[in-house]
A and B are shown apart, each in its own frame.
Chain A
Amino acid sequence: MDSPLLPHGVKRCTPGVFFLWTLPWLALLAWGGLSAVLCLWKGLNQTNMSNVFAFALWIVFDLAVIALGAGAFFTGFLTYIVGRKELKSIINTAVIIGFICYSGAMAMLGIDIGQPIRGWFIFWHANIHSMLVEVSFCITCYLTVLAIEFIPIILENRKIEKVKELRLLGHNLHEVMAVFAATGTFLSFFHQGSLGGMFGVMYARPFAAREGFYIWPWTFFLFVLSAIACGPCFTILCTKLTEFLSRKKLVPDDAIQFLAKMSGWLLTLYMVLKTLDYLGWIYGVVPRAGLTFMDFFNEGPYGVWMIIVEMVFCGFLPAIILMTPAGRKSQGWLIFASLLNCTGIVLNRFLFIIVTLAVPVMPFDRFWGYLPTWQEWGIGLAVIGYGFIVFSLAYRYLPMFPKETALNPLPVE
């Protein structure tokens, strides 16, 4: 019944089945919606955040999805600036994922601040010294860029395409897409970086402090690098999931393999630098603060094991798998490695946010624990629900995978 809206020459499930598929995600959205109303109406006392855990689950989600969404700008960069034609078959997916991640993050931030109505003060009373201001500016601009990148894909919808002006608009946008890709790349570089900077500049928080690379905290570069190292893997994972659910091949291997290879390289480079980072931190920053590495872990649930997991299992291991052709060519290993890679980055963000705040700086202060409330989970998970829905709609109604028809010719009746 919605067949006139579906792309040409593709097979989609019936509206009924599609509706059933969206139900769980709509449920998550409802849960999140309720939580959001409570937090905005009754205030942030609905959460388990505190003066100790000023940042918590939501910020972890924010930083995680923004890192994972980095596939968008990086793929865009490779496609339009570097000119890797094979990526055209996956760029749409990357863009949509990016859009979902960034819009989701923005929504969460809107609820996270105590005075949402004053949110715009960030721009009006901007403090140029604040990394968070840089983040806010870049993310907002980049979200617009993503929207613009998203539009042509929407305009390719079979029905909309019928409107001549819109078809033209879409076509012209395609022509200039390189410009936006470049802008996006530029913006992303800076906000991914300043996200890292946010924590590196906290020079009075020895667990996070990373100052000393000229004017920059070096987490700036580590965050950029880790983001573009995991972003592509996340794009791959989403694609693979879609292929698995739709039981058909949607993206040619060359695209996937190229992304995987890039990820491999970048992750390897990142792991080298991250190792240096830890060494520089353990032997530079930490002793300067009068602490030893182990001092951070003598209380509470967070232990050295987290760092080992981050570095070894979710760092070097996937790096090696992705670097070895055999590894990334095998479907199973590729997915496994991508999963580890993404997990590692999320874990890294978790360390920088939660553990930084959990560890007391004053020797006589004590360690604090934190568990999110259902309201916090609700809002966090709603972003996932939202992601699935937007992604599913896009897959159903838009030619998200240009090669889909070629790879899956319909039987002629």
Chain B
Amino acid sequence: MEIGITIAFWVLAAVIIGAALAVVLLRNIFHAAIFLVLCFFTVAGIFIILSADFLAGAQVLIYVGAIGVLIIFAIMLTRETQRGNPSGRLRLPALIVGLLFLITMVAVVVSTNWNVVAEIPEPTISSLAQALFSKENGFVLAFEIAAVLLLAAIIGAIVLVREK
């Protein structure tokens, strides 16, 4: 079992990195979007290896099902996608910002003390719900505020595109 998980992890990691590179390097913007979806999907695989099944489901539902599809929808509505994805004048600034972001991420990942739970709580969903919504140490208020924020964003989008 352990060997199987290790093999699965390395295969998934290779696919994720390959897909992510394809997203950045491919000229055809539609192909890039498809690889982005593949990348999201394999990240869900990593979540499954970590026994975070709810997170994996949410990853596929939100990232693949919603965000991936929305990106494809946006490409559909974009004109002149046939010319591909030409690089702009912002190459150098983009490189600098990207490198800074990478350094920050690596620093955070390395310096964080990752809590490893010895035993996986079963079932995961109800323990997740307990952690989120319990009366002590819960995040109900933050959750509700996020919901209100999203609702405000939706209404704002409707107001913006609405015909007068």
Q: Do A and B come from one complex?
A: no
A residues whose Cβ falls under 8 Å from a Cβ of B: none
